[in-house]
Homo-oligomer: A and B are copies of this chain.
Amino acid sequence: MTELNGQVVRVRLDFAYDGTDYAGWGIQPGLRTIQGVMEAGLARIVRFGEPPRVIVAGRTDAGVHARGQVAHVDIDVRTWERMPGHSRRTPGQSLVRRLNGVLPADINVVTAEIAAPGFDARFSALGRRYAYRVCDDVRLRDPLTRRYVLWHDPLDVDALSVASSALTGLRDFAPFCRPRDGATTIRELTEFSWERVRSGPDTGLVVAKVEADAFCHSMVRSLVGAVLAVGKGRRDSAWLADVVATQGRSHAVKVALAHGLTLEEVRYPADEDLALRARVTRDKRSLD
């Protein structure tokens, strides 16, 4: 909590970034991280009692991108109200404009608004949806989209679909997670599907949709890596069943490269359920 006159407003930020040139979300000494760059940007335009702290919904790994990322930051209420200066903008519009003015072009803040009571970008979230984009046709490889599309050998989309549907549901995803002491690896994978896209922005690509209540460290990329091995015919469903049955982390899975992965959307409950959801999540992960 920042304190200048004691009163703060919690601001929800919706933003997008190209993760290519970052060592991931979380601050690491000496490395360029999204959190580090955003907090430094905020500190340049907003007066804080102490350095600002940005709490994010999805802590993306190095090289992973985001289109629908959500975070919150607490800002002194008077600083917030004075944000527009003499302009006719709202404080939120003004913050977006000023923040994008100091941030590099590979981060874009879309909106900044006062969050509903009880909102916590991380703990109120109901689910995170990722997309993993693959081009499996040499003739469709586009150098302009190569920073967020994996170039791969030809894939069997039916095989990808069968394999990924065997992984959905509420289960212990320990075989697919980089372990962390005391942290649960039980998650609910609500969707894991593949499509050869026929229209819209991803036409011609093979795209995975991966959604869960939350993900452990490197879980999305491990799931995608395991299924890609089946989709290219190098592994079969029996192998995948063995992986799922592994005690602890499986070392048979090759984690998919980061640059194909984009956090597309974070889902939240209706405003009146935000605080309850945050309490439930905190309890469930109390060991984290």
Contact = CB atoms under 8 A, between A and B. Distances in A.
> In the complex this chain forms, how many copies of it are found?
2
B16 A108 contact: no
A63 to B, nearest CB: 12
A16 B142 contact: yes
Contacts of A85: none
Contacts of A163: none
Chain A: interface secondary structure? Answer: mixed
Interface string A103-145: 0011110110000000000000000000000000011011111
Interface string A210-222: 0000000000000
A148 interface: yes
Interface stretch (A2-10, A198-206, A231-239, A272-280): A198-206
A230 interface: no
B17 A105 contact: no
A104 B141 CA distance: 13
Contacts of A143: 16-18, 65, 105-108
Interface of A: 16-18, 65, 67, 96, 100, 105-108, 110-111, 138-139, 141-148, 199-203, 262
